[in-house]
Amino acid sequence: MVQDLNAMKNLYMNKFGCDILHHSSEELASFGAEYFSRFFPEDEIILHRKALTQFIDQGDHTHLHSFLQRVRPGVQADYSWYFTTSRIIESSSNPGATQLVHIAVPVNTLTMTGHRISNMLENDEYIRKNFFRFNLLSAREKEVIRLIVAGKSSYEISEMLFRSIHTINTHRKNIIHKLEVTSLAGLIKFAVAFNLV
């Protein structure tokens, strides 16, 4: 794609990008600044624009700027991760004007490194969504989670922590309520994400 960040306008999109966003290149160009808010998270637009502006200000046409970004094809769709590399080009229609050409590749289509990046990004998103739940847990509840994930029964946990089995079962109920998990797999995922194991 080709963009003019000063005008906050998408100038060109290839067929691959148009197919993903379900719009023609002309339609995408007609959105103007709305293009960005329609397909990208607002808080990330601010960060990327700042970094890209600094990159443009350096004015070096031989350098590349790469970053990870989330894109969604529509308001009801989920965001997908893309690895994007940008380069400054001179405008052919407006001499002296600076434009950016971007090549964006879906992270999930990359090699093993792409899969690792994709997993890392999914984990990061999971942590951001569930951090408030982690903060709801007491130190004892975190300890109980560690032991549950290690395969310990309520009886074994009560023996190890010198607490009654009733207290341990209460902790288990509170954990389930606070984390809204419905399976051991869900609890394990949470424990791994927050380094409780």
Classify residue 108 by its DSSP letter: G
What the chain holds in terms of domains, given with CATH numbers, is 2-109 (3.30.450.20), 112-193 (3.40.50.2300)
Handedness of CA 122, 125, 127, 129 (dihedral sign): negative
Higher per-residue confidence, 117 vs 66:
66
- H/E segment holding residue 30: helix 25-30
180 backbone φψ class: left, alpha, beta (φ>0; ψ -120 to 50): left
145-173 pLDDT per residue, tens? 999 999 999 999 999 999 999 999 999 99
Q: What are phi and psi of 70, to 5 degrees?
A: -105, 140
Q: What is the value of pTM for the model shown?
A: 0.56
* Whole-angstrom distance, CA of residue 67 vs CA of residue 106: 12
User: Is residue 96's pLDDT more than 70?
Assistant: no
Residue 81, exposed/middle/buried by CB under 10 A (0-12, 13-18, 19+)? buried
* Whole-angstrom distance, CA of residue 168 vs CA of residue 183: 18
